[in-house]
């Protein structure tokens, strides 16, 4: 299952609480898949679509995973990293081996 860092949870909560969208979540869908991996599309969604896997946290952050994206992200960690301009970007990394 996709894991999320505390920074990612905070960023998702901040994004989805804008515009009064309390039930919204961050939705991942596979835009394009290749041997090298998958290109993901991110969007703020008011609700999960049929078949989406829904991940929630105690703080209320919600992530909706389209079935193909859920399969791709099953062993990944979602984090937020700051670039040189100070912009926050979501990053998907491999989960460390247990």
State pLDDT tens for residues 53-81: 999 888 788 999 999 999 999 999 999 99
What total of structural domains would you count in the chain?
A: 1
Rounded CA-CA distance 72/45 in Å is 20
Cross-strand partners of 44: 26
Domain that holds residue 16: 3-94
- For residue 60, the tally of other CB atoms under 10 A from its CB is 14
| 88-97, Cβ contacts within 8 angstroms, sequence gap of 24 or more | 88/11, 90/8, 90/11, 90/42, 92/40, 95/3
Specify the pLDDT at position 23.
62
- Nearest to 41, CA basis, from 61, 57, 26, 24: 26
Query: Residue 77 is part of a domain; what is its CATH number?
Result: 2.60.300.12
Q: What pTM did the predictor assign?
A: 0.84
pLDDT given for residue 63 in this prediction? 95
């Amino acid at each position: 299952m996709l894991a999320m860092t505390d920074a990612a949870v905070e960023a998702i909560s901040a994004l989805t609480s804008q515009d009064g969208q309390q039930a919204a979540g961050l939705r991942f869908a596979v835009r394009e898949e290749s041997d090298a991996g998958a290109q993901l599309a991110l969007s703020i969604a008011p609700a999960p679509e049929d078949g989406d896997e829904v991940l929630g946290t105690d703080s209320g952050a919600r992530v909706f995973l389209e079935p193909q994206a859920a399969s791709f992200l099953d062993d990944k960690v979602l984090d937020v990293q700051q670039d040189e301009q100070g912009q926050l970007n979501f990053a998907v990394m491999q989960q460390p081996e247990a």
